[in-house]
Amino acid sequence: MKKLRPDRALIALMSMLGFLAGSAQAAPEEDFWRWFQRNEAALFDFERDQERTFDRLAREMHEVHPSLTFEFGPKQGNRREFVISADGIREAFPKVESLFAAAPPLAKWKLVKFRPRREPFDLEYDGVAVAADAVCVLIQRDGAKAGLTVLIPGYAKAAHKTYMGIAFLLLDQAIGEHDVETRVGFIDVRAPSASGQAGYPLRELPAAFDSFLSK
């Protein structure tokens, strides 16, 4: 058996340790996708046992990072969209990227990192219902970013935290999770003003937002 010289032995040992460290670091992502593939049938048809399937999926994602969450799109033929989200938590963005990058080929799935832009829809949050068509957004300069004030009919200062949560959800719909966290400065929420500052309807916000930041 050929013996390695001490310097080569040290290099080989360091290389092996580096490989093992890298493998350990990647293990949560790899473990998740192995679990995903084992449970692909149940995930694809999650409506059959939605609560149990979602609970299991959430637990597995939290093994990668406690802030990670998910969304499913509707079935389109034999494919379905699976969104990996940081739930608006900037610190979890690298884990969204690494989990997405570690995904194996999945014929039945269209993988999407971060909540994408979608047609805004009505929602209810913490007992407050909001119609998307009734919401407008003011855009202001905030350094190199855009500051956004979300105008929600019925806004009450006493429920400011709830309305801020609604504002973030609506903005995620309109301009996408990644842009909300990386291209937006301040976010505020208030009732529509009687002064005539109507802002942009949510459906017009994506084009107005992109145009504002391009100037």
Q: Where do the DSSP E strands lie in the chain?
A: 69-72, 80-85, 109-113, 123-125, 128-130, 136-142, 145-151, 184-190, 200-201
Could you read off the pLDDT of 77-90 as tens digits, one per residue? 899 999 999 998 99
Round to whole Å and give the CA distance between 61 and 78. Answer: 24
Q: How confident is the model at residue 5 (pLDDT cuts 50, 70, 90)?
A: very low
> Tokens for 68?
């990670």
Round to whole Å and give the CA distance between 165 and 130. Answer: 12
Sorted by where each begins, the domain ranges of the chain are 6-113, 123-214
pLDDT at 211: 97
Angle between helix axes 205-214 and 160-175 (nearest 10 degrees) is 80
pLDDT at 2: 41
Provide the 8-state DSSP code for 114.
S
- More confident position, 118 or 6: 118
Q: Is pLDDT of 151 > 90?
A: yes
pLDDT at 37: 98
pLDDT at 47: 95
Round to whole Å and give the CA distance between 212 and 199. Answer: 13
Is the Cβ–Cβ distance between 146 and 184 less than 8 Å?
yes
Q: Is pLDDT of 68 > 60?
A: yes
pLDDT at 198: 77
pLDDT at 117: 95
Mean pLDDT over 123-136 rounds to 95
Burial of 77 (0-12, 13-18, 19+ CB in 10 A): exposed
